[in-house]
Structure 1
Amino acid sequence: MTFQIRMLTLLLLIAVIAGILVSCIRTPAAPANRNEALSITTSIADAEGVAATNASWYVPPDVDRSSQNLANRGASSDTTPSFSSEIDADAVVAAYEKVIGDVHENVLPSVVSIFVLNRVQVSGSVPGFTYPFPFGQRQPQSGDSQQEFFYRNGQGSGFVWDTQGHIVTNRHVVVDAERISVQFSDGSSYIAEVVGLDQDSDLAVIRVERDAEQLTAVSLGDSNEVRVGQLAITIGNPFGQEFTTTTGIVSAIGRTLRTGDSQFSLPKVIQTDAPMNPGNSGGPLLDRQGQVIGVDAQIITRSGSNTGIGFAIPVNMAKQVVPVLISEGSFTYSWLGIRGTTVTPEAVDLMGAPEGTRGAQVIALAKDGPAHIGGLIGSTKSKSTSRGNIRYGGDVITSIDGQPVLEMTDLIVYLLENTRPGDTVAVRVVREGGEVAEIKVTLDARPELLN
């Protein structure tokens, strides 16, 4: 009986203490409208995991900040209290809108619309054109022996690189143009001349004669720091609608594409769902600070307009190529002279290499190219499987100059960022049967055309 009395007394005491504690806790009033605010709870532990940090987006007016801080500092070391705060949804949207608006206003003076005039040579009839012919030219009749031509308008975008009048855009926007006109956001227009073109990166530099005081160069970001999900903003000239801003996110990084009519792949391409359309080519892809992270270049589409899959050349590629285009007019890439792909586990198994081998599989060699002369071996065998035809029997490049090569893109990136024609590289390979070899290869310059 005595034990039961003691337990009852203890329970009553606990109830009284709990009541006192509850009465000391002051809960902020709920918003009148559930849509006015979003309630969240945060608890951020310090390095020792014992103290809590206040969320500070919004504090109800009837709560004293100093008392909160004192209460938190006096919290027991074995507890992690949480603080309920409220985020004003309208303020969140307003902050987002401010970021977009600020980027537009700050970067707009650096963005240009580009209009080009191309002379197109034709012979005989011109498919797809009916009278009146563009620019008043007579439409060639079928059977005409004399070669005719007509002019075609094109458009794109670009951005100011420096205060010397250099503007960066896509090669495909300005190549073979007879006339290039550049329009700034203040309405002024200038005739531009081509300074340099690079087919493999699809980058071009043009130049206008404008006072340095009237030129605002863009701020360049670091495309190696770009993350999937971050805000992506583009400003350009879609369908001739000058200085249009659209937004989205970075959808993917590390894409590999071929640009224009190039025979070589471009690595580290940024994919975004920020709307791009014809006329956006050459414009800047920006982060939330207004820094350029890429150069708009391509879209995947069946309709000719935006489908949510756009690609931008990484700005770090532009940092490498553009200064050389300005000084020399062209950019020369180093060339290993292979056609390759990322090796598959099936190919590794077929060639008898150690399980887990990763690298760039050499599919074919350019005759008398650097890799051929250096002694690399291309794939000579194939086998039909449920996953298709698998090539094997050649070298798998696992490192170059001591840097691991886990896939074909790693090899492309290393050659692009770290080598020049004439450099000698050490290529480590795994061969059929698991043999390991290290081969010295002297790189050449990329040829204009490959067999």
Structure 2
Amino acid sequence: MSPQPGRGRWIVLFVEVVLLAVIAGAFLWTAFVGNRSAAVAVMPSPTPFTLVAPTVIPLTATDLETQIAAVYREAGPSVVNITSRSISYDFFFNPVPRQGSGSGFFYDTLGHIITNYHVIADADELQVTLADGRTLPAQIVGSDPSNDLAVIKVDLPASEIRPLPIGDSTQVYVGQFVLALGNPFGLERTLTFGIVSALGRVIESPNQRFIGEVIQSDVAINPGNSGGPLLDLSGRVIGVNSAILSPSGANAGIGFAISARTVQRVVPVLIREGRYPHPSLGVRVIELTPQRAALFERAGMRLPVTQGLLIAELINGGPAAQAGLRGPDRLVRVGNWNLPVGGDVIVAINGRSITTSQELLVYLETETQVGETVQVTFIRDGREQTLPVTLAELR
């Protein structure tokens, strides 16, 4: 019996629908798999992070906790509590005893301990409390208020000292896990944990100069943490905790640490010489701004630039004077101002643009040393010139 025409058409239509569904499904599957493969192929690799980071980042919370605990076990015995005592006198010349505390850590097996200058400043007596509870007298080996660093020393057998390794702070990156070990409010060997918040900060030093290359972190730092180490997850020192920014004087999540690069530059000199020589051009300058340039215009002196450092005074016999830079030749009264005029305007050092006195101090401090010759670019009579200047020690 021959098939019915209507039924055959339905069968053919059904087969066609099934075939179309199979073809469409295959197409979608291929597109999905292909796109997924392509996405995997172009996905950024995590390799750059592991190349930049000085440590291997744990993959799980448990791994991270284990690593933090390991750093505490290894670094804890190297961190000390420093107590400073001094005597001051009141209006009636009655002695008033004063006491302060801070933190420090062993730098070598000779008993040298790194801390902040402001921890030991004006101390008549220093005592160091070790991790095992022993208290030892300490002597100041060297100090540098301009970098807020100091080295003190205790007499202890080398076999009982575990120095902390100094890391490479140039490899530190924002977001990196860091730890602080110290003695906040006298609570010995307190560990706190956080991340690097920013790099290259500039803070004021105890002697009103500027400290560059400073590491900012959100690690909890409080009074007593000063001088303690800022550590990476491998237990290496990447900074020395020095200051906080806080309206209340307690932790507000903004802490600053002197970088390990600064430590490596300054500490060996403090141990060898007891002080650190700071390079200087031998000039006093005025920062030029458009507003200050307008003051000069009112005095009839139109400056060739509105940004830079106008030499207001040359130190007699100083590096800049010996090199041939020119200072002011007269003072002009404008309102309440006595403006020095006629001096050169410094605009760059070694090709690095310099527009503020802070930039000048930080550059000389972090990139140069006493006795080094730098190329100073300046504006004189509307023309840009460059002279070599050999830096001398700041006096």
What is the correspondence of 1:210-225 to structure 2 with a 5 Å cutoff?
210-225=156-171
Matched AA of 2:64: Y
Q: Which runs of 5+ in 1 are unaligned?
A: 1-5, 25-40, 55-90, 125-146, 385-390
Which of 243, 260, 274 lines up with 1:298 in the alignment? 243
What is the correspondence of 1:172-251 to structure 2 with a 5 Å cutoff?
172-251=118-197
Task: Work out which structure has the larger RCO, using CA pairs closer than 8 Å and 6 or more positions apart in sequence.
Answer: 2
Matched AA of 1:426: Q
Per-residue CA deviation, residues 329-354 of structure 1 (Å, 9 max, x unaligned), is: 1111111134558866888998444x
TM-score, normalised to structure 1, is 0.67
Per-residue CA deviation, residues 123-175 of structure 1 (Å, 9 max, x unaligned), is: 32xxxxxxxxxxxxxxxxxxxxxx22121121000011001110000111112
TM-score, normalised to structure 2, is 0.76
SS of residue matched to 1:229? coil
Which of 233, 253, 261 lines up with 1:288 in the alignment? 233
* Contact 2:311/2:346, CA 8 A, preserved across alignment: no
Which of 315, 325, 331 lines up with 1:375 in the alignment? 325
Per-residue CA deviation, residues 423-445 of structure 1 (Å, 9 max, x unaligned), is: 43321124564x21112323221
In 2: Cα distance, 1:223 partner to 1:116 partner: 29
Counterpart position of 2:6: none
Q: Shift of the alpha carbon at 1:365? A: 3.4
In 2: Cα distance, 1:293 partner to 1:394 partner: 42
Counterpart position of 2:297: none
What is the correspondence of 1:33-432 to structure 2 with a 5 Å cutoff?
92-124=60-92, 147-260=93-206, 262-339=207-284, 351-353=303-305, 360-362=308-310, 364-368=312-316, 369-372=318-321, 374-377=324-327, 395-401=344-350, 403-405=351-353, 408=356, 411-431=360-380
Per-residue CA deviation, residues 305-341 of structure 1 (Å, 9 max, x unaligned), is: 1122221111111111111111111111111134558
* Contact 1:360/1:411, CA 8 A, preserved across alignment: no
In 2: Cα distance, 1:270 partner to 1:293 partner: 9
Per-residue CA deviation, residues 184-207 of structure 1 (Å, 9 max, x unaligned), is: 222222211111111211111011
Per-residue CA deviation, residues 218-266 of structure 1 (Å, 9 max, x unaligned), is: 1111222222222221110100000011122222221222211x14221
SS of residue matched to 1:167? strand
In 1: Cα distance, 2:291 partner to 2:19 partner: 71
In 2: Cα distance, 1:301 partner to 1:380 partner: 42
CA 1:324–1:148: 2 relative to 1, 3 Å:
same
In 1: Cα distance, 2:205 partner to 2:286 partner: 18
Aligned residues: 355
Per-residue CA deviation, residues 281-326 of structure 1 (Å, 9 max, x unaligned), is: 1011112222111111112233221122221111111111111111
SS of residue matched to 1:104? helix
Residues 333-342 or 220-229, more deviating: 333-342
Q: Shift of the alpha carbon at 1:53? A: 8.8
Is 1:443–2:391 an aligned residue pair? yes
Q: What percentage of aligned pairs have identical amino acids?
A: 39
CA 1:418–1:251: 2 relative to 1, 3 Å:
closer
Higher helix share: 2
In 1: Cα distance, 2:203 partner to 2:333 partner: 26
In 1: Cα distance, 2:145 partner to 2:327 partner: 29
CA 1:21–1:183: 2 relative to 1, 3 Å:
farther
Matched AA of 1:122: D
In 1: Cα distance, 2:185 partner to 2:96 partner: 21
* Contact 1:381/1:393, CA 8 A, preserved across alignment: no
Q: Which runs of 5+ in 2 are unaligned?
A: 1-11, 31-35, 47-58, 295-301
Matched AA of 2:320: A
